[in-house]
Structure 1
Amino acid sequence: MSADHKQIVATAYQRIFGDLDVSAVDKYMSRVFVQHNPTIADGPDGVKQLLQMLASQGVQKQEIEFKHAIADGNTVMLHSRYEMAGKQWRFIYIYRIEDGKLAEHWDAMMQMPDTRANNNPLF
């Protein structure tokens, strides 16, 4: 089941955030989606508003690269690379799956700095 959950989350993430496909939100997210990012409203409408904001800021469709995908029961963690506003970002997303849909979300994100204190890769 964990492999299925990883596939659901990776596919949903690519369709929603990589392809910027607003229709994918309703397909992959629960109607009672719980959002733990304090800058995004609960529910699918919060994610749709985020997609509209990203598009208005010129974020382009992109192939999301996943470094890690880890599943534990109905919880999946993704470590990904994403470009926003001409800057590279690294994300760690955690999703809880319920009835085959994304039901809950937590995240941590970091913009790649212009100067680094070490040469260790972030990805």
Structure 2
Amino acid sequence: MFKTTIFASILLVTASVAGFAGPAQAQGVTETQMVQDYQLTQKNKELVTKAYQELFGDHDLTALDRYWADEYIQHNPYIGDGREAVKTFLEGLGILSWPKQQVRFERVIAEGDLVMVQTAQPTSANGPGTVIVDIFRVENDKIVEHWDVIQQIPADATNKRTMY
């Protein structure tokens, strides 16, 4: 938290000395609000990556109770709303029998209440690896909404660059 405050302060002082009046200042956002927004963004990023690791890396279904809101909204068309629907879906996939792993976050991008993570899931005996982009909305220290895009990594890609 201290490093975050120092970084935000340096950024604001540099912008002020340079005579920069960015969009936030043009909209009447104070320096204090900018620092608070930055700190909230960082806090939400930490919450989502911790929750994601515990649920999808450690396969700890009780993470749903700690990090997901009671009124959780799900945009994946194959999963219902609420924590119990996510738990049922993951149990149906057999998550409790999967080996635990350190989640490989390729990218974590956040702004305010939205946090996006891009992960690469390794190839399994049942199929190819996948690249997943999850977007979470956080409110009051809980994940309240989720969107995702999941794409298999093709074995015969024309373009040999990674998808992440």
TM band (smaller chain): over 0.9
The amino acid that maps onto 1:97 is V
What is the alpha-carbon distance in structure 2 between the residues aligned to residue 45 and residue 112 of structure 1? 30
Given the alignment of the two structures, is residue 42 of structure 1 paired with residue 81 of structure 2, yes or no? yes
The answer to which structure, 1 or 2, has the higher relative contact order (CA under 8 A, 6+ apart) is: 1
Partner residue of 1:8? 47
Larger radius of gyration: 2
Deviation at 1:61, TM superposition (A): 2.1
The amino acid that maps onto 1:44 is R
User: Higher strand fraction: Structure 1 or Structure 2?
Assistant: 1
Deviations 1:7-39 (A, max 9, x none): 100010111111111111111100000000000
5+ long unaligned stretches in structure 2 = 1-39
User: Higher helix fraction: Structure 1 or Structure 2?
Assistant: 2
Deviation at 1:122, TM superposition (A): 1.1
Choose 100-109 or 80-89, whichever is displaced more.
80-89
Partner residue of 2:18? none
What is the alpha-carbon distance in structure 2 between the residues aligned to residue 111 and residue 57 of structure 1? 22
Deviation at 1:107, TM superposition (A): 0.3
Length-normalised TM-score, structure 1: 0.92
Partner residue of 2:24? none
What is the alpha-carbon distance in structure 2 between the residues aligned to residue 77 and residue 64 of structure 1? 14
Partner residue of 1:115? 156
* Contact 2:59-2:95 within 8 A present in 1 as well: no
Matching residue within 115, 119, 128 for 1:76: 115
Aligned residues: CA RMSD: 1.6
Length-normalised TM-score, structure 2: 0.70
5+ long unaligned stretches in structure 1 = none
Partner residue of 2:101? 62
Partner residue of 1:25? 64
* 4+ long deviations beyond 3 Å: 56-59, 83-86
